[in-house]
Structure 1
């Protein structure tokens, strides 16, 4: 079992990366949440991994955090969810967002992830209930509520989860809903 790789990042082609570990190049598929945080080619990198052996090949999946790998493994336990769909879920939602979606049973946010229809979303919500509670962010309820309102407003305006998430990270923690939406739109218009 390969649980972790540390080496030099050689190549980045979404969703795949190649890491040179003492002369051996390991090819891994990573969720976009990990991909966006990778260093430049030629720099040192360490990723947690999940190794899958199937009849048609051996596959390595890489993750920047233990929470991502844990969520990936929980998704794989669900009937009808393979590695590609699990990567798609983690590319469309951060682990914290996924935990919130499951806690609130938000089918609509899951169906925005490519490859997930209503029935699959409902099955994911049912199977993951209570399993991702540790991934929920520990923030004040009022700030959490205004951040969720801002996020939902950005999604309603047509921005995807990644774009909205990037803008949300740049907002101060105590931002009100109306100010947060205004600031996020300014940030997104610069991109």
Structure 2
């Protein structure tokens, strides 16, 4: 029997979710996980394959940041682990773990503890709409990058192909 693996870049999926599924609650982990599973089954349907042709859905993401940092201007502390987005990510990962034929692959967030100026704030500084002395905490963001996610996707593709576990791989990502 033919088997299909569906590999989903979590950061890309979540970034696109609110635009593609405007009618669904993007802050509800259960809704997002069920939508993700339904999307995977829709891919099978479009490929004219039955549901039992699904080998597995691989969801690649990073665990949320669980550290406390000082804000760049005010010096106030911010606990990223207590944020709504961190709570959502934890709930989503728990929901995904409960789904049949779902594999959660976690990379990690590489944080250097550095705050960087947001693109729009930099633009405002350049064109004179914002002055240096008027910068506030909300003009900055923590420099975070996912690591190991692309590598894990590549390793899974190689493993699935080498072991001939699937004859088709669907990759859902925004990476070029």
TM over 0.5: no
Bigger-Rg structure (1/2) = 2
Q: Which has the higher contact order (CA 8 A, sep 6+)?
A: 2
TM-score (norm 2): 0.25
- In terms of fraction of residues, the more strand-rich structure is 2
TM-score (norm 1): 0.24
- In terms of fraction of residues, the more helix-rich structure is 1
